[in-house]
Structures are given as C-alpha cells and as structure tokens.
Amino acid sequence: MNILVTLNSNYIKPLRVMLNSLLVNNPEESFDIYIMHSSLTDKDLNYINQILGDTNWLITSS
C-alpha cells in the first residue's frame, strides 16, 4: 500500500503516532511511505527511519 505524507518538523510526533498505529494494526502488511517536505533535517529523517525499526516498509523522502 502506498501512503503519501506532507509535513514539516512540527508534525514529526503526529507522524510517529500514525506510523505506530499502522504498524500495530497491520503487522503483516507492507507499506511504501512517501514523505514530501521542504524543511526536514537529516536528523528528522533518521528519527522517522528509527520509528519503523525492522519493518519491511519503504520510506522515500523528497
């Protein structure tokens, strides 16, 4: 399933809640998550990747 998210650094915590909910409620599902942003730092993007841990989800940012 494809999911597109647009955000800035103020929405990292709500994104974490959404991703956690997806993971808890769909443990066997695979997701491709696309993040559109203009101001996220490498630190923000690394944090988002850490949220997902060992999932088989793909995250792409631009």
pLDDT in tens, 6-55: 999 999 999 999 999 998 999 888 899 999 998 899 999 898 888 888 78
SS3 labels along the chain: CEEEEECCHHHHHHHHHHHHHHHHHCCCCCCEEEEECCCCCHHHHHHHHHHHCCCCCEEEEC
More confident residue, 20 or 61: 20
Q: Quick one: pLDDT at residue 62?
A: 79
Domain containing 11 equals: 2-61
Record the pTM. Answer: 0.80
Please state the domain count of the chain. 1
Q: Quick one: pLDDT at residue 58?
A: 79
